[in-house]
Amino acid sequence: MPPRRRARYDEDAAPHGRWASSGMPEEAGPYDESEAEDEDERRDPRGDDERGAEPRRRRASLNAVSAGRLGLRYIADLTSKDTEGVTSVEPVEDGWLVDVEVVEDRRIPSTGDMLSIYECQVDDEGNLLSYRRTRTYRRGTGGQGGGL
């Protein structure tokens, strides 16, 4: 099986979009604007750096789908492990709480794999505030107990 390509936040991996941690191209989202575009919005067309002419646009807050995608990418990058998917997304006071299932240790047969749930908190602007591993368990035991 070929190695997976991890998402990079600072470069475009393909001309049509970025690559997700799954190795598939991912469409650009509302938070993938380039910094150059933001700078152009702040500059006056005459070349002056006067900010009084037009107020700067404020980005919309994250929705659950965007928060889940961001949480998945953050956990994949921070742990350098394969992610299985997002298991929950819930709104909290200042953003979102995202739970991501990660393969900690692959075994043969795959029913012996060790999985973990990582919880990360993402603010309304898409910044990672914190993350932690909350649970480790053998594949197949899931919510039925058996966790370490």
Per-chain mean pLDDT for the chain: 75
Q: What is the pTM of this model?
A: 0.59
The 10s digit of each residue's pLDDT in 4-13 is 555 544 444 4
Joined tokens for residue 33: 């604007």
The predicted structure's pLDDT at residue 83: 97
Q: How many residues does the chain have?
A: 148
The 10s digit of each residue's pLDDT in 36-71 is 444 444 444 455 555 555 555 545 688 999 999 999
pLDDT at 134 over 90: yes
CA end-to-end span of the chain, whole Å? 29
The predicted structure's pLDDT at residue 119: 98
The predicted structure's pLDDT at residue 37: 45
The per-residue DSSP string of 59-124 comes to PPPP-HHHHHHHHHHHHHHHH-S-EEEEEEEEEETTEEEEEEEEEEE--SSGGG-EEEEEEEEEET
Residue type at 55? P
